[in-house]
A and B are shown apart, each in its own frame.
Chain A
């Protein structure tokens, strides 16, 4: 193709910016929609499947299995009832598995606080890039993205979000000490704050610390027997756990009933997994699921939506194709006089056709680049799709 043809085509496209812009945008949209949906869906599928496959079993209270799996895998809050600590302890009784209990019911600055057994860090291969894992009650370690986003580092402090601001009987916001920041993993673990289970129970109000009853104001002492002391809810609880007051923290009520959101279960082998599932699922209140199966079921729902989006993309592509055909036909009609002039000046038919095709190729290329750029932008701006589940 002669450079002059490119020049003429380019000039014609530039001289009709509205027409050129509409076609380019139509093309861009036709590229953007299927490409973005396809890429995000592929990423979505890969991420979900990879994390689910690496997690053999998840136990929790009976209810929505999708909620349970997403809570255990992605620390999604809400939607699941708690399961008592007793369930986790029962799982350890015959050494068929290693249970990793977790509680993901609280937040700090709207970031999930995941209280979890220390085995979890080895299971996911998470190591601190600075500082250490939580060492004592009230300690926490930050996921890399959280540390960056909140501009926090080892040695800083972080307050949990208080759920009941106007009820003084509820536990206060807890000031937690940051002992370290985890190395980036590219997993949802980068987006949360980890602490130990006992700290979660302090956040629940199931455990607390306060001044020695022997030294407190007598007005807050409601009743006292040899074995039991009742104190008014007006007594100020500690909102920070320090070496000085750590010993005063204690749990009220039945320890085995302490709440968990879910339990990640690492069975010894396939047979152990089968036995555990059969045994656990016999309980009327609990369930144990295979995350990979649950995620497959979830993806089948999601991919039904994708089929719908694919149909829209095909429809849009066909519409764009028809629009381009219409534009070419109208252009040929509108440019009939120009074609006649070119013919009279000695222009070959092939050259005239080349000009039309070249112009369309240029506009389609620009549209494709717009679509690709927009798609790349959308994909880059949607890294937390899984987190938003």
Chain B
């Protein structure tokens, strides 16, 4: 299995007094591999996801996404690559309250320079919503949806562009165990259907056996005081 994501000798530090720098010697994720990322709060899980997505840029080292050295690309290219290759499900879902569910699913296609919300994309958005069981919520605004429905709309948004990497930050954190299970089923099903790798940050140890691999950030990354 070829690597989709690889990090080597990455060092990143947040600015400010008392900040810590994060060092990751090596990490790779294969295509279609499902990886769970665990660790206590503040250990650098979200930073890791943001480094892979190109939201953050390391001070040194290299982050690769497919054949692209995302850590060495300019801001515009990183945005375009992120929009095209990565689907993200945020802990708080990050749906825009003034848009309908359908428009929220289509949002990356509205705002990303390289993507267009064509009729085919709209059809796919409806199809995805149907498969995730939220087709009936498409005209509604997010505030009129249940937590589970919001979750699935966020997943549909992440999957719409057929990304090669799906990154989820505590996607089941706010859900009851049953809804969390159902949501994970849907997420994995869709990821398999799109042949996408999954990197999921979670505190829920009960679901770890559903992943191909579990990465503990505390053993992967070192936090050092910034000198």
Give A residues with C-beta under 8 Å from B: 2, 4-5, 7-8, 11-12, 14-16, 337-338, 341-348, 351-352
Whether the Cβ atoms of A347 and B79 lie closer than 8 Å is yes
Q: A367 to nearest B CB, angstroms?
A: 20
Return chain B residues, CB-CB under 8 Å to A337.
Answer: 94
Return chain B residues, CB-CB under 8 Å to A11.
Answer: 98-99, 103
Return chain B residues, CB-CB under 8 Å to A352.
Answer: 111
B110: interface (CB < 8 Å): yes
Q: A1 to nearest B CB, angstroms?
A: 12
* Residue of A with least CB distance to B84: A346
Top 6 closest pairs, chain A to chain B, by CB: A346-B83, A15-B98, A4-B110, A347-B111, A341-B94, A346-B112
Give B residues with C-beta under 8 Å from A: 53, 55, 76, 79-80, 82-84, 88, 90, 94, 96-99, 103, 107-113, 115, 117, 141
Given contacts A346-B84, A347-B79, 14 further A-B contacts (CB under 8 A): A4-B117, A11-B99, A11-B103, A15-B141, A341-B90, A342-B107, A345-B107, A346-B80, A346-B83, A346-B108, A346-B112, A346-B115, A347-B111, A347-B112
* Residue of A with least CB distance to B55: A344
Return chain B residues, CB-CB under 8 Å to A14.
Answer: 98
Whether the Cβ atoms of B96 and A348 lie closer than 8 Å is no
Q: A339 to nearest B CB, angstroms?
A: 11
Return chain B residues, CB-CB under 8 Å to A16.
Answer: 98
Q: B227 to nearest A CB, angstroms?
A: 30
Q: Known contacts being A7-B110, A351-B113, is A345 close to B76, with CB within 8 Å?
A: no
* Residue of B with least CB distance to A13: B98
Q: How far apart are the CA atoms of A14 and B94 in the complex, in Å?
A: 20
| Max count, chain B CB within 10 A of own CB: residue among A2, A342, A345 | A345
Return chain A residues, CB-CB under 8 Å to B109.
Answer: 4
Q: A354 to nearest B CB, angstroms?
A: 10
Return chain A residues, CB-CB under 8 Å to B99.
Answer: 8, 11
Return chain B residues, CB-CB under 8 Å to A8.
Answer: 99, 103, 110-111
Q: How far apart are the CA atoms of A178 and B3 in the complex, in Å?
A: 102
Whether the Cβ atoms of A4 and B98 lie closer than 8 Å is no
Whether the Cβ atoms of A342 and B98 lie closer than 8 Å is no
Q: B116 to nearest A CB, angstroms?
A: 9
